[in-house]
Chain A
Amino acid sequence: MIELKNLTKRFGKVIAVDNMSLAINDGSVVGLVGSNGSGKSTLLRLLSGVYQPDDGEVLVGGKKLFDNPAAKGECYFIPDFPYFYNNSTINSTAYLYRNLYPNWNEEQFNRFCSVFPIKRDAKIINMSKGMQRQAALILALSTCPKYLFLDEIFDGLDPVVRHLLKKILIEQVSEHSMTVIIASHNLRELEDLCDRICLMHRGKMLMEREIDSLRLCFRKVQVAFSQIPEVPNIFEGIDVVNVWQNGNVFNVTIRGTEEDFMPQLNALNPAYVSAMPLTLEEIFISEMGEAGYDVNSIL
């Protein structure tokens, strides 16, 4: 289990992570989404023991992580730009990890080397961005971590490898109860993979929820009227996130399920009503809009 207790990290005057508390159960896949500079990467570095918290604490498996080799041995962090020495190969880096990570699995290493389309004796630094990430993934998965922290891991991976990665991660989670935390702007991929989503903005956690319940929480509703009702507020009593009007047609994002808002909409005698769930990206945009971070406020 990962626990964040009043976690704070400052960089000078900037508060990158602001008094954050969170508990993540083992065997879950959590997506960290948020605006640029919201503190996602900083949070991952705090989780992996690269950064020391200024306040609060990070407990991974009940252990404090910072400068704790035993606890770190169960974690693996792939940053957004993984570092490789000029002459490093997968094999040479594996040499280091083999002795450092207590759960290193040679069979897994050989297996992943054959699964990912990559040469293990080639210099990693000469590889493409996507292949470098594959190299990092091979090494990460071979350490058999209980906790895997991935920062923008889908960036640069082709669709096939993305699919492969998701499959492997799901396999590891189901078989070994691995906990995965992925920070990404690629919400489509997170939607497929994660069972929980944490939405961050300016160092704070705006929302943290099961992805299924999140989907159920929002509806995109299209309502058309032959004559717009002459009332001061058409959608009064409905939890509307935003509204976009085009003539007699309204596109409304509503927080809640059909049971919550349909009776009130039907009472307005619409010519046409349809409701469908939001994609994660749409939820993200609408939530961020509520936090004052939308295209209109930026422009």
Chain B
Amino acid sequence: MTSTVSFKEKLKQAYSVFKWDLKSCTGTMAVYAILATVFTTIILTLCLVVGFYSQNNTAYDLYYSSFSVVPNTTDVVAASVRFFQVAASQVVYLLTIIFAIIYTVKVYSYLHNKRKADLYGALPISRIMLFTSKSASAFLFTLVPAMFFLGIIFIISACLGQPIVNEAIDIYVKLLLGTLASISAYGLISVCCGTTVNSVVMFITVCIAYPISAMFIKGVANGFFYGSYSGIFKDHFIMNALNPLAAYDGINIIYWLIFTVVCIVASAFLVKNRKAERAQASFAYYLPCHIVKVLVAFLAGMFLGVLFGSLNVFGDGYLGFVFGFILGSVPAFVIAHLIFYKGFSNLVKTSIPLGGLVVLVIAVMAVCNYDVFGYNEFIPNFDNVKSAGLIDANYFYKENNSNLNRIVKDSAEDFDDKDIINSIITVHNSILDKKDFSSDKKFQNVWYDMFVDNMNIGLNEMRCSFAYKMNDGRVITRMYSPSADNLFSSVGIDTSEIVMTKTYTEKYSVALNADQNDISYITVSAEDYDECTLGNTENSKKDLTKVMEAFRKDFKADNSDISKVLEPAEYEYSDFYNYSSSLYYNKDFRYYKEQYPDAVCLLEVESVGNDYSNFGSMLSMIASGNYSIYNTPQNEVYLIPESYKNTINALKEIGVLNSDNTINEDSEYSEILYR
């Protein structure tokens, strides 16, 4: 026989618990309010005082440089207020995170104290409703005061005539997301743990150990499998999947929302059947404890293992790894056990996962180290390849939001010409010939590949992809990016034989593929060093579009030997790898005119340099997580012969060329360099 309480009654009960918690947190909230008020006032005062009286202050220079604002007398106060917004919001953000930890630990401590368990266990409120109202308390105690103070900051700014800056608004999102994920994760851990100390230690351990362990796995995958591409980088949700503090970065919003819901649902399910007598015991549910112990053992083992592997201990990287892994993982596991269990009880019984971990890792690393499946040195047999493709990072354009994996896979059907396929295989071979596949090198690569996301990779490094469509229909791809052993050296692989083809140009050049808005300008040059540049103004965009459409029409219709048209591009390409930029400028239009009497002009096309428009920059951008560094434009130069009538006519119609195919000096686009 059961009795029920109406939903309205349940809500009333939950609200009572919430208000009671609120009363018990009054003191803590008062401290938060005082600190937030004091800091906000201090920052406002300093900003205004500095704004009025110290216009040349270093801090302001920094601020201006960060916002790309040129300082002048009139906007100093405005800039001060904007600086106040950002600085005060950051302080409220940090204070909120600190107090969120205090509230959360306090709110969920009812699960970790026998006397509190008696009090709450006997109350006429369901366990799920009690947990939900406690969680709501933790969320609201954190968010409402923070929102209140951020609101005050914005009101002050508005009163001083300044709109809300984006950096300050971002803090709202970060705070909301971070609070939701962190509190729900801590709630789940609290339900599983028997003491507050274990909950806090476990939460911190997971937040630190998981991301570093993920970095090790990524480092091993990339370091040991040369040419693989996982697409998993620093900001990928996998890298921080169990680290809810990463939600405070404000990215991967969907993932963190799902994570929050999963944690809340799992907590509610577990709390309903949680044994109240487990308060003050080590754990109420042991699974998270086993997971954390294995995680800690894995991390310590990988650290020492990879270290000893890269130091070539015992003269063999793999043996060094095995020694280091066991040396790191076993003590770490025992220490974690001692902390969580407060003694050696059940150590042997709970060590089975450690045994499994050691065996698994040593086996997996053996497979990786000895390249059991021959991944690293695999190049398809020429006779088995139906078609192939190569993409050179330095000569590539694709529209925004392209999927890198998809592009590379699709490139497998680019060339079915046997000579080109042979060239692709030759280039592929030459890359592998230069690679050191020794065991210790692989372990050294792990360190680099772990942190590669955060490094500013030079774009001069060779980056290219290979794709093969086999006769049996399989598609095999390899993507090569810099690794530890060739980071600071030029690989110097010549791909021009593939890149400087009509097929490649049609698929991957800026001139043939870019959206008109992604072309920043085109420059037409002819004899006498005269040039006309289109694209600098909005009006010239229309003419630019007209010329590019005509060029594309001519290029596609051109069935003759296209090497003449591409020769300037090829020269620029080889010049790029030879590091002798001065050569390019010596080969002006007259050089080509001597070679090809039917040459009319040179057409230089430069892309906007959108982050996604270049294969190399796309890879680097994803890898770095910094979206502003790799804003590199791409230049292409084409020779326009007399047969490109559409292009020539278009240039004449817009007044760039005269009727005798010379540059019109009176054109609005004319830039006379020498006279």
Contacts and interface: CB of A to CB of B under 8 A. Distances in A.
Q: Do A and B come from one complex?
A: yes
Interface of A: 11, 45, 48-52, 59, 62-64, 67-73, 75-77, 79, 81-83, 85-88, 92, 95-96, 98-102
Nearest to B12: A99
B117 A69 contact: no
Given A45-B118, A79-B118, A81-B115, A72 B277 contact: no
B552 interface: no
A88 B26 CA distance: 12
B456 to A, nearest CB: 53
A83 B118 contact: yes
A101 B124 contact: yes
Nearest to A80: B118
A99 B18 CA distance: 12
Contacts of A85: 24
Interface stretch (B2-10, B146-154, B436-444): B2-10
A41 to B, nearest CB: 9
Given A51-B276, A95-B20, A100-B13, A76 B2 contact: no
A89 B155 CA distance: 38
29 contacts: A48-B121, A50-B121, A51-B275, A52-B273, A52-B275, A62-B1, A63-B1, A63-B2, A67-B272, A68-B2, A69-B5, A69-B13, A69-B124, A70-B3, A70-B4, A70-B5, A71-B3, A72-B122, A75-B122, A77-B122, A79-B119, A82-B115, A92-B20, A99-B13, A99-B16, A100-B123, A100-B125, A101-B124, A102-B124
B127 interface: yes
Nearest to A76: B122
Interface in B6-32: 10, 12-13, 15-17, 19-20, 23-24, 26-27
Contacts of B17: 96, 100
Interface string B104-133: 000000000101111101111111010000
A281 B492 CA distance: 98
Q: Which of B12, B16, B277 has the most CB of A within 10 A?
A: B277
Q: Which 10 A-B pairs have the closest CB atoms?
A: A70-B3, A50-B121, A83-B115, A99-B16, A73-B124, A72-B124, A77-B122, A79-B118, A83-B119, A96-B20
B189 to A, nearest CB: 22
Most chain A beta-carbon contacts within 10 A, residue among B16, B27, B113, B273: B16
B452 to A, nearest CB: 50
Contacts of B2: 63-64, 68, 70
A52 B271 CA distance: 12
A241 to B, nearest CB: 36
Given A99-B16, A100-B16, A87 B23 contact: yes
Given A50-B121, A52-B275, A83-B116, 14 more contacts: A51-B275, A51-B277, A64-B2, A67-B272, A68-B2, A70-B4, A70-B5, A77-B118, A77-B122, A87-B23, A87-B26, A100-B123, A100-B125, A102-B124
A67 B126 contact: yes
Contacts of B124: 69-73, 75, 100-102
A29 to B, nearest CB: 20
B67 to A, nearest CB: 46
A45 B115 CA distance: 12
B277 A11 contact: yes
Contacts of B26: 87
Contacts of A64: 1-2
Contacts of B113: 83
Given A63-B3, A68-B2, A50 B276 contact: yes
Contacts of A72: 122-125
Contacts of B272: 67
Contacts of A102: 124
B332 to A, nearest CB: 28
B122 A50 contact: yes
A62 B1 CA distance: 7
B234 to A, nearest CB: 44
A149 to B, nearest CB: 8
Contact of A92 (B15, B23, B119, B123): B23
A75 B123 CA distance: 9
Contacts of A11: 277
A67 B124 CA distance: 8
A99 B10 CA distance: 10
Contact of A79 (B13, B27, B115, B127): B115
B20 A49 contact: no
A234 to B, nearest CB: 50
B172 to A, nearest CB: 32
Nearest to A151: B118
Contact of B126 (A50, A69, A88): A69
A197 B39 CA distance: 64
B33 to A, nearest CB: 17
A237 to B, nearest CB: 49
A123 B5 CA distance: 32
Nearest to B110: A83
Contacts of A76: 122
Contacts of A52: 273, 275-276
A49 B277 contact: no
A104 to B, nearest CB: 11
B121 A49 contact: yes
A96 B119 contact: no
A51 B274 CA distance: 10
A105 to B, nearest CB: 15
Contacts of A98: 16
Given A96-B16, A99-B16, A50 B125 contact: no
A95 B19 CA distance: 9
Contacts of B275: 51-52
Contacts of B119: 79, 82-83
B103 to A, nearest CB: 14
A75 B125 CA distance: 12
Contacts of A70: 2-5, 124
A48 B123 CA distance: 9
Nearest to A52: B275
A88 B115 CA distance: 15
A134 B661 CA distance: 107
Nearest to A41: B118
Given A81-B115, A83-B115, A100-B16, A68 B122 contact: no
Contacts of B122: 48-50, 72, 75-77
Nearest to A73: B124
Contacts of A67: 126-127, 272
A86 to B, nearest CB: 8
A73 B16 CA distance: 15
A81 B116 CA distance: 10
Contacts of B23: 87, 92, 95
Contacts of B3: 63, 68, 70-71
B467 to A, nearest CB: 59
- In this complex, the member of A50, A86, A88 whose beta carbon has the largest number of chain B beta carbons within 10 angstroms is A50
Interface string B89-106: 000000000000000000
Contacts of A71: 3, 124
A245 B366 CA distance: 83
A87 B24 contact: yes
A17 to B, nearest CB: 12
A87 B27 contact: yes
A67 B5 CA distance: 12
B117 to A, nearest CB: 7
Contacts of B4: 70
Nearest to A9: B277
A180 to B, nearest CB: 15
A96 B18 CA distance: 10
A164 B625 CA distance: 73
A55 B10 CA distance: 29
A95 B13 CA distance: 11
A44 to B, nearest CB: 10
A293 to B, nearest CB: 25
A277 to B, nearest CB: 37
A100 to B, nearest CB: 5
Q: A69, A92, A96 — which one has the most chain B CB atoms within 10 A of its CB?
A: A69
